Amino acid sequence: MGRYLGLDASTQSLSALVIDTDTGEVVLNESVSFAEDLPEYGCVDGVLPHADPLIRHSDPCLWAAALDLLCERVRQSGFDWADVDAISGSGQQHGSVYLRAGFPPQWTGRQSLAEQVKFWLTRATSPVWMDSSTSAECDEIARNAGGDATVTAISGSRAIERFTGPQIRKFWKETPEAYAQTGRIHLVSSFMASLLCGADVPIDFGDGAGMNLLDLKAGDWSPLLLDATAPGLTGKLLPPVPSSAIGGTVHPYFVERYGFRAGTPVVVFSGDNPNSLIGMGAGKPGIAVISLGTSDTYFAAMRDPVTDPDGYGHVFGNPSGGFMSLICFKNGSLARERIRDQFGLSWDAFSAAILQQTPPGNNGNLMLPYFVPEITPRILDASVKRSGTPGFVAGTDVAAQARAVVEAQALSMKQHAAWIVEAPTQILLTGGASQNSGIAQVIADVFNAEIKRLPVTNSAALGAAMRAASAVGKISWNALAAAFAAPDAAGRVQPDPQAVAVYADSASRFAAFLSEQFPGS
């Protein structure tokens, strides 16, 4: 029993959450926002501005700076880092960091982490999950490996633009000298763990499965996919490990600067979605989870790796054993924010527009809210389409815009996620937007499922803390889920039978509008 820290390096922030397994309480929940706290790195919505909408990179020095800032902020708040018995963490998936051989060095207390990391980078920026610029490389990898079906059978996903393998291939093609100088490639998760340990911490099966490089059944890198991706890649990756492996201990830099206890064990980090699966108490098959973070994702645990027949979805490792299926939508929170900002709404007004000012089905109004290139369905040439009443199409009917974006997202999710859990009767909802009652009601009605929410909305950080407690504290998943991931009675939302009937019709009209406007999607 003790105190366990989960760090969450997400798209727009770095958070720390500590659970106390003696009292069953969350004793620390602190966050650093990249935009508000570290504007000097120039990231907007977590990425560096780029004229090409397909290119989306971030700055690994920003993540290092956020780690220093978060540790210092928590120390100053009076929380004693020495009380933490073990640490694990979470990272936005797929993003990659490219480093010289010899990384990580012995950190010195004379410079900040960001200053030290900068010297070791062979690629100044990190492609992240929002990047869609590697279509050519995906085709090449599939061809080199013997076809899409082979890549999917081995790795659980077709070669996908944002996945790390295609990103590595693009780096090798564009800058072969910098690729040759690269001694180590990390995911965001394993990079953050390596910063903390001042030692090379391996990638876990959960996050490693998001690279198009892992042989899921063998639990090791696939020689065929490594060769199909880039020359000499084997030596640039550490062998992958189970999510319960100890990656190292906290480096003296953190002990001396911030007061961590010397020797605190660090359990390997994992991806945000595998961590969320744990943090939602959904490690066993049959429980559907929707996460409304920067991306919207729909996922569930599964015993055997079953792949998406349409080729959009993925199989990742489940940190509590077995696998998880997932489907990801890029036009998630940022699309809802675009509508909120364009029409001058607050989140409360956005929710009221849905709950009080518009009916389910939105009087037949439909939107295809593809502000940026979409992952599911695959739309590279993004645009927003509307059909319906003149006021809606012209944008004067403000309330209908809020309902339309959320209905479109929920209908698309239902259409594309049927292979994961066919007709869930209950859905666990998490992520920053899950607290919005209007959004939660639309999801309940479209899926005809009861929505349950947890008191902790950062399920990725919570899941990481629970993984540390399981691996080091040897506390059972059931006990951890009962203590920290029990749904909140007040957070339940029931489907409305009348709305459910309306959405059966909306679903077919939405699917027809989508295939008419984006043929082949």
User: Binding pattern to ligand XUL, positions 291-330, x when CB under 6 A?
Assistant: --xxx-x----------------------------x-x--
Nearest residue to ligand XUL, by Cβ distance, number only: 93
In the complex with ligand ADP, which residue's Cβ is closer, 159 or 466? 466
In the complex with ligand XUL, which residue's Cβ is closer, 282 or 483? 282
Site size with ligand ADP, rule: CB under 6 A: 15
Residue 297's binding partner among ligand ADP, ligand XUL, none (Cβ under 5 to 8 angstroms by kind) is ligand XUL
User: Binding pattern to ligand XUL, positions 68-107, x when CB under 6 A?
Assistant: ------------------------xxx-------------
Q: What is the C-alpha to C-alpha distance for residues 44 and 221, in angstroms, rounded to an integer?
A: 34
Rounded to 10 degrees, the C-alpha dihedral 119/122/124/129 comes to -130
User: Binding pattern to ligand ADP, positions 415-454, x when CB under 6 A?
Assistant: ----------------xxx-xx------------------
Q: How does strand 126-127 pair with strand 57-58?
A: antiparallel
> In the range 343-382, which residues lie near ligand ADP by CB under 6 A?
347
Shortest spacing between CB 508 and ligand XUL, in angstroms = 28
- The reply to whether omega before 104 is within 30° of 0 (cis) is yes
Q: Per the structure block, which two tokens stand in for 340?
A: 């909120």
Shortest spacing between CB 8 and ligand XUL, in angstroms = 10
The residue assigned the tokens 């990249």 is: 34
Shortest spacing between CB 288 and ligand ADP, in angstroms = 18
Tally Cβ neighbours within 10 Å of residue 495.
19
Is 270 a binder of ligand ADP (CB under 6 A)?
no
Q: How does strand 96-100 pair with strand 57-58?
A: unpaired
Q: How does strand 323-329 pair with strand 296-302?
A: antiparallel
Is 351 a binder of ligand XUL (CB under 6 A)?
no
Give the one residue of 6, 11, 151, 186 binding ligand ADP; rule: CB under 6 A. Answer: 11
Q: Kindly provide the b/e burial profile for residues 220-251, where b requires at least 16 CB atoms within 10 angstroms of the residue's own CB.
A: ebbebbbebbbeebeebbbebbebbebbbbbb
Q: Are 186 and 204 in contact (CB under 8 A)?
A: no
Q: What is the C-alpha to C-alpha distance for residues 459 and 420, in angstroms, rounded to an integer?
A: 20
Q: Per the structure block, which two tokens stand in for 21?
A: 């397994």
In the complex with ligand XUL, which residue's Cβ is closer, 48 or 74? 48
Shortest spacing between CB 11 and ligand XUL, in angstroms = 6
Q: Per the structure block, which two tokens stand in for 348?
A: 């409360």
- The reply to whether omega before 377 is within 30° of 0 (cis) is yes
In the complex with ligand ADP, which residue's Cβ is closer, 433 or 449? 433
Phi, psi of 362 (to 5 degrees): 55, 40
Q: Which positions touch ligand ADP (CB under 6 A)? A: 10-13, 293-294, 333, 336-337, 347, 431-433, 435-436
Q: Which positions touch ligand XUL (CB under 6 A)? A: 11, 92-94, 129, 162, 210, 271-273, 293-295, 297, 326, 328
